[in-house]
Amino acid sequence: AARTARVDEIAARLPEGWDTRVGEGGTALSGGERQRISIARALLKNAPIVLLDEATSALDPQNEAAVVRGIRELTQGKTVLVVAHRLPTIRHA
């Protein structure tokens, strides 16, 4: 799940890797990094229904690309509800 959502890339950049404290709710992480962690958690849960609410809003291009790849994996074989203002987000769901 971490590799699919590209969370392993985040851990590699952190000073203590996977053991780095990121604060309550991931406050030391960017919004895109938190999105990627949310996708990894959802992959682990393997829920049959996925709700994406503005999943790519306010992301930089690097995080958006990683989130979109994670969403593709996450939504395979699932019922997906997407709330988005950006057409590319809906197309990828």
Model pTM score: 0.74
pLDDT of residue 92: 61
* Ordered per-residue pLDDT tens for the chain, 93 residues: 888 888 999 999 999 999 999 999 899 998 888 888 888 888 899 889 988 888 777 778 887 888 788 888 888 898 988 887 777 666 665
Range(s) of the domain holding residue 42: 7-92
* 69, part of any domain: yes
Which residues neighbour 84 within 8 Å (Cβ) at sequence distance 6 or greater? 52, 54, 55, 56, 57, 90, 93
> The CATH number of the domain where 79 resides is what?
3.40.50.300
The count of structural domains within the chain is 1
* 60, part of any domain: yes
> Residue 82: helix, strand or coil by DSSP?
strand
* 2, part of any domain: no
> Residue 30: helix, strand or coil by DSSP?
coil
* 1, part of any domain: no
